[in-house]
Amino acid sequence: AETVLITQQSHEELRKVLGANKMAAPDQQKLVVISVSPQSRASLAVRFQLNPTDTARKLTAFFKKIGAHYVFDTAFSRNFSLLECQREFVQRFRGQADPKQALPVLTSACPGWICYAEKTHGSTLLPHISTARSPQQVMGSLVKDFFAQQQRLTPDKVYHATVMPCYDKKLEASRPDFFSQEHQTRDVDCVITTGEVFKLLEEEGVSLSELEPAPLDSLCSSASAQEPTSHRGGGSGGYLEHVFRHAAQELFGIHVTEVTYRPLRNKDLQEVILERDGQVLLHFAAAYGFRNIQNLVQKLKRGRCPYHFVEVMACPAGCLNGGGQLKAPDMPGKELLQQVERLYGLVRTEAPEDAPGVQELYERWLQGAGSERAGRLLHTSYHAVEKAGSGLSIRW
Ligand code: SF4
């Protein structure tokens, strides 16, 4: 199953689809949308020695040259993932959620981690995992639902590809939860890695540095993008930091100016604490990499996990170090990662609730935050697969 998946979701497949689309009769053509992750942009920026804004504009020009009609940034859809995760945490902390959904809340944006949780410790872990969709899958909803409607198209008339820092995003896009039976189409039709974008550039004989930049596209008019934006709190999306700040304000009326991380056993395991008068109010952690995740699972199984919220990522050092990112044969891995982190951090950050277009889309598209529609389009569910041989594999 995985071989079929990798063939269907490859840069060769994307080229084939774009080529066929150009040749098709006008009424048979699909609208092609490509959504690029900020982690992939940073990796390409290092390779081509460009700043992130130029990289975003030149990538837009490249994808349009090979047949895309619109190129979006998944930092925009990440606003919704972060806001939904914040809302969910506060509800669970106050005991307002389904009693089966327990603390700690574990993040859901990493499909490597979700696959592991479903296959190995489903009954223990799944009630803890946030139901908020990842930025890739929120972008899937935005493109196939909101944007398709704007363009007066049915979702199957839109072809949506994403550019991601890891291979596991291909598995995520292929989950049955993200397939529309009604329209016989996936929210994300094809996922290619950063490395595959590099191969595409090579095969097309294009150097990103030499391309004329193109203006960035926006999903709605009030979000018109002059430059790419990002979020505070590290290269894996900043879930810990955003939920922590929001929960401190919402639950305890405390405005957090600086989030201080305390390293624990290693640099991939860190905690953040909110205290008042010596009492711990919030205890959050970030656990990256397989070893730290295994330790977290053991603590949870023994009922000895002290945290209210954990940002869980399968890759050591998180998404900027994902398996689909570009390698540099002439540079030690640590130095390359530092450079990618530096360029990732050069982009202007904004709070998700302040990002232009977000509140408008909550009202116009989702009929309000917390609505049934927002629940359906921005959340998902997980499925315990305790038996071996499900066709998915965990590559850690
Ligand atoms: Fe992919 Fe690694 Fe990020 Fe998980 S941590 S989403 S596997 S790049």
Q: Which are the contacts of 2, defined by CB distance < 8 A and separation ≥ 6?
A: 171, 391, 392, 393
| CA of 324, closest atom in ligand 1 | 8
Give which of 45, 47, 25, 49 is closest to 37, Cα–Cα. Answer: 45
Assess contact for 55 and 39: CB atoms under 8 A. no
Tell whether ligand 1 has an atom less than 6 A from the beta carbon of residue 166: yes
44 C-alpha to ligand 1 centroid (Å): 17
DSSP designation for 379: B
ipTM over 0.90: yes
The answer, yes or no, to whether any atom of ligand 1 lies below 6 A from the CB of 313, is yes
CA of 40 to the centre of ligand 1 (A): 12
Tokens 């810990």 belong to 240
In this prediction the pTM is 0.95
Closest C-alpha residue for ligand 1 atom 4? 110
d(CA 353, CA 373): 19
User: 385 to each of 138, 167, 300, how far by Cα in Å?
Assistant: 24, 20, 19
Instruction: Pick the residue whose CA is nearest to atom 1 on ligand 1.
Output: 166
Which of 381, 365, 382, 353 shows the shortest CA–CA distance to 80? Answer: 353
Distances (CA, A) of 124 to 37, 50, 104, 106, 389: 31, 45, 12, 12, 20
Report which protein residue has its CA nearest ligand 1's atom 6.
110
The residue whose C-alpha atom lies closest to atom 7 belonging to ligand 1 is 112
For residue 31, give Cα distances in angstroms to 16, 24, 97: 15, 12, 39
Are the CB atoms for 82 and 369 separated by under 8 Å? no
The closest of 311, 360, 355 to 76, measured between CA atoms, is 355
CA of 314 to the centre of ligand 1 (A): 6
Residue 314 Cβ inside 6 Å of ligand 1? The answer reads yes
150 CA distance to ligand 1 middle (Å):
32
pLDDT profile of the chain (396 residues), mean per 10: 67 95 94 98 97 97 97 97 98 85 93 96 93 98 98 98 97 96 96 97 96 94 80 94 98 96 94 97 98 96 95 97 94 94 95 95 96 98 72 46
- 286, 109 Cβ separation under 8 angstroms: no
Instruction: Using most ligand atoms within 8 A of CB, pick from 37, 162, 163, 168 the residue to mutate for ligand 1.
Output: 168
Ligand 1 pocket, 293 CB below 6 A? no
CA distance 188 to 48: 27
d(CA 116, ligand 1 centre) in Å: 12
Range 377-389 burial, b when 16+ CB lie within 10 A, else e: bbbbebeebeeee
Phi, psi (rounded to 5 degrees) for 283? -130, 105
Atom of ligand 1 nearest to the CA of 165: 8
Q: What does the block give as tokens for 106?
A: 């574990």
Is the C-beta atom of 312 inside 6 A of ligand 1?
no
**Token code pair at residue 38:** 């900020």
Q: 319 CA distance to ligand 1 centroid (A)? A: 5
Measured from the CB, is residue 235 less than 6 Å from ligand 1?
Answer: no
- pLDDT for 103: 94
Three-class secondary structure of residue 306 per DSSP: coil
**289 Cβ inside 6 Å of ligand 1:** no
52 close to ligand 1 (CB < 6 Angstrom): no
Substitution site in 40, 110, 293, 396 for ligand 1 pocket (most atoms within 8 Å of beta carbon): 110
